[in-house]
Amino acid sequence: MLVLGIESSCDETGAALVQDGRYLRSNVVASQIEIHNRYGGVVPEVASRHQLSAIIPVVETALAQASCSWNDIDAIAATYGPGLAGSLLVGLTAGKTLALARHLPFLGVNHLEAHLYANWLRPVTSSPLPATEDGGGYEEGDPLFPLICLVVSGAHSEIVLVRDHGDYQLLGRTRDDAAGEALDKVARVLGLGYPGGPAIQRMAQQAEDTYVQQHSTVKKARNVYRLPRAWLRGTYDFSFSGVKTAMLHLAEGATETPQTVEAGKPSIQHSRYTRMGEQAAQDGAPDVALLASGFQEAIVDVLSVKTRMAAQEHHVKQVILAGGVAANVSLRARLQQELQPLGIRLSYPPIDFCTDNAAMIAGAAFFHLRLGERHTMDLDVQPGLSL
């Protein structure tokens, strides 16, 4: 089954063609990062206006890249929530209209569920594609149920027990900020631009490289600024607003004169530091980078330990990562460290499929479509949809 997937829940506009929920035939994303970087975050009205002009060319490019015609497509799927209402409307309306015009089955997809299904995607390596009974059973390379999924994006931080396709139990969620949201807000204050996650990761890496040369351990670099962790013991819930606020105070304390900053240029001047920061300043270490490293470490620490505990309690053999923050190299490495000694397998999508893309929409849709699920044309956007 060849599915055309469409994604427009936040600032990206994507279209992709995926065979049997796994095999990538094409994947096109029109990014707006440069536009929103100017504002330090996504401006919803600006995002949906750009999506309106991008959507048709993006769909046409996805078909061209897969060298396929409309006659090859078996179904169309589009995100209907959660996300920004105006943005969702663009992709959902395009998907429904194309399905109606081409007399194709249509399915609305939950964006969060789709992030999970990025773990089923793989490149097309053989032609013809492997024949499967119904394509819905287990195939070599698929994640193994039951599994724990850590969903970490710009708007969500959740630990989910997945027993089978479509069988989810939410074990924990953030009580305030999502991990990605906290990274984006802190990066803005540090003058590192948007999106914040990759910028914080780059700065942290810089600090750790410098520190390793001078002091030998990465662990030390990550703890020069020891930031608070909200463990919320006895639950799998998260809270990142405390560490974010601590970080913002630290950043303010370290900035002598507020100044306009160019994206990508650190805004913090050496001045008033915490005790540990003073040490860092004397050592000549880059303080913004060390702050980024300490902040990233605080977030990675809590996400990794709680995910490992959930995996142990539920006796799963596999943990998967999903969402934009799953692109973070520190998170991947730390989780590997936590899970490997327990014999629990960790897998995550390639970086381009962690952040928003339409291939995951087409992938997730397949596992519903094969069961005969369809949506009618009156399906509306649901900005607050949960898993």
Q: Which two tokens stand for residue 301?
A: 């620490």
Which structure tokens are listed for 318? 């596999």
Pairwise CA distance, residues 386 & 279, whole Å: 45
Has 246 been labeled as part of a binding site?
Answer: no
Assess 203 for contact with ligand KG4 (CB under 6 A). Answer: no
Contacts to ligand KG4 from residues 169-198, by CB under 6 A:
180, 183-184, 195-198
Size of the residue set binding ligand KG4 (CB under 6 A): 19
Q: Measured between alpha carbons, how far is 273 from 307 in angstroms, rounded to an integer?
A: 33
328 is in an annotated binding site: yes
The single-letter code of the amino acid at 99 is A
According to DSSP, the β-strands at 75-81 and 106-110 are parallel
Q: Is the C-alpha dihedral spanning 108, 111, 116, 119 positive or negative?
A: positive
Any binding-site annotation on 153?
A: yes
Residue 328 contact, options Zn ion, ligand KG4, none, Cβ 5-8 Å cut-off depending on partner type: ligand KG4
Q: Please, are residues 8 and 28 in contact by the beta-carbon 8 Å criterion?
A: no
Q: How far is the CB of 296 from ligand KG4 (least distance, A)?
A: 8
* Long-range contacts of residues 338-345, Cβ cutoff 8 Å, at least 24 apart: 338/304, 338/305, 338/307, 338/308, 339/308, 339/311, 342/308, 342/311, 342/312, 343/317, 344/308, 344/311, 344/316, 344/317, 344/318, 344/319, 345/144, 345/317, 345/318, 345/319
Amino acid identity, residue 122? R
Q: Does 14 bind ligand KG4 (CB under 6 A)?
A: no
158 binds Zn ion (CB under 5 A): no
Window contacting ligand KG4 (CB under 6 A); options: 120-128, 139-147, 151-159, 222-230: 151-159
- 151 assigned ligand-binding residue: yes
Site for Zn ion in 303-362 (CB under 5 A): 356
Does residue 31 sit in helix, strand or coil? coil
Question: Taking CB within 5 to 8 Å according to partner kind, which of Zn ion, ligand KG4, none is near residue 325?
Answer: ligand KG4
Per 3-state DSSP, the chain is made up of helix, strand and coil in percentages (nearest 5) of: 45, 15, 40
Give dist(CA 371, CA 206) in Å, integer. 49
- Binding at 40: pick from Zn ion, ligand KG4, none (beta carbon under 5-8 Å per type): none
Site string for ligand KG4, 319-358 (x = CB under 6 A): ----xxx-xx--------------------------xx--
CB of residue 109 vs ligand KG4: minimum separation in angstroms? 13
Q: What are phi and psi of 298, to 5 degrees?
A: -60, -40
Q: Is 184 annotated as a binding residue?
A: yes
Minimum CB distance to Zn ion smaller for 197 or for 294: 197
Residue 191 contact among Zn ion, ligand KG4, none, beta carbon within 5 to 8 Å by kind: none
272-311 mask for ligand KG4 (x: CB under 6 A)? ----------------------------------------
Task: Find out whether 52 and 382 touch, Cβ atoms under 8 Å.
Answer: no
Two structure tokens written together for 166: 């479509």
Provide the mask over 88-127, with x wherever binding to ligand KG4 is found by CB under 6 A and - wherever it is not.
----------------------------------------
Q: Binding site annotation covers 27? A: no
- What's the DSSP call for residue 174? B
Q: Give the separation between CA 133 and CA 267, rounded to whole angstroms.
A: 58
Which of the choices ligand KG4, Zn ion, none does residue 369 contact, using the CB cut-off of 5 to 8 A by kind?
none
CB of 85 to ligand KG4, least distance (A): 15
Minimum distance from CB of 201 to ligand KG4 (Å)? Answer: 5
Q: Is 115 annotated as a binding residue?
A: yes
Q: Closest by alpha carbon to 362, among 129, 189, 114?
A: 114
Name the site residues for ligand KG4 (rule: CB under 6 A): 10, 153-155, 180, 183-184, 195-198, 201, 323-325, 327-328, 355-356
Binding residue positions: 111, 115, 151-155, 184, 197, 328, 356
Name the site residues for Zn ion (rule: CB under 5 A): 153, 356
Binding residue positions for substrate: 151-155, 184, 197, 328
Binding residue positions for Fe cation: 111, 115, 356
